[in-house]
Structure 1
Amino acid sequence: MKPAEEYILKQPEPYKSILLHLQILIESSFPNTDLQFKWKIPFYYLDDKPFCYLNPSKKKGYVDVAFWVSAHLTKYNELLISENRKVVKSLRYKSIDDINEEVLLTVLEEAHQLKDKGFYKRN
């Protein structure tokens, strides 16, 4: 089992269920992603470049799906949270019911297209 998968399975509820649901959505929609464990959180890579990461904040009660290329994202920008972060923006979920799959998949697809246009740097 990969360290990132082990990390997800060890999370308390509701974080574990949210993370598992997000993992299924991301991996089924983008089968070429590589789930890694970087900076102590699950991190998705595409072609050796960072794509997005999953960050559970137990202290604040949510899970972020965060994007490096947030400055270039245009779809559903009103739903992306920057919260004192200069580069990264995220979609935030407190429960599985909060996950709007259309919004998530649209933002992920746009991030994927930006990768193809060269907006990502190697990490």
Structure 2
Amino acid sequence: MKPAEEYILSQPEPFRSILLHLQILIETSFPEVELQFKWKIPFYYLDNKPFCYLNPSKKKGFVDVAFWVSAHLTKYNEYLVSENRKVVKSLRYFKLEDINEEVLLSVLDEAHQLKEKGFYKRD
């Protein structure tokens, strides 16, 4: 089992359920992504470039799906949280029921299209 998968499975509820649901949605919608474990959290890569990452905050009680290309995202900006971050914005989930699959998949698709246009940085 990959370190990122072990990390997800080792999380307490509700984080584990949220992370597993996000993992399924991301990997079934974008089978070319590669799940890695970077900076002690699950990171998705496309063509060796960061695509998004999953960041559970146990202190604050949420899971972020964060995007590197947030400055170029135009869909569903009202759902994206920047919270004092200059480059990264995220979709934030406090419980499994908070996940709006239409919004998530639309933002992921836009981020995927931006990758094809060369908007990704190398880490």
Alignment TM-score, normalising by the size of structure 1 = 0.99
Query: What is the alpha-carbon distance in structure 2 between the residues aligned to residue 121 and residue 16 of structure 1?
Result: 29
Question: 1:39 Cα shift?
Answer: 0.3
Which residue matches 1:16?
16
Which residue matches 2:95?
95
Amino acid at match of 2:79: L
Question: 1:14 Cα shift?
Answer: 0.2
Question: 1:98 Cα shift?
Answer: 0.1
Question: 1:52 Cα shift?
Answer: 0.1
Q: Which runs of structure 2 are paired with 1:6-45 in the superposition (5 Å)? A: 6-45=6-45
Question: 1:121 Cα shift?
Answer: 1.7
Secondary structure at 2:107 match in 1: helix
Cα RMSD for the two superposed structures: 0.4
Secondary structure at 2:42 match in 1: strand
Gaps of 5+ in 1: none
Q: Which runs of structure 2 are paired with 1:1-123 in the superposition (5 Å)? A: 1-123=1-123
Count of matched residue pairs:
123
Query: What is the alpha-carbon distance in structure 1 between the residues aligned to residue 114 and residue 24 of structure 2?
Result: 22
Question: 1:92 Cα shift?
Answer: 0.2
Runs of 4+ in 1 over 4 A off after TM superposition: none
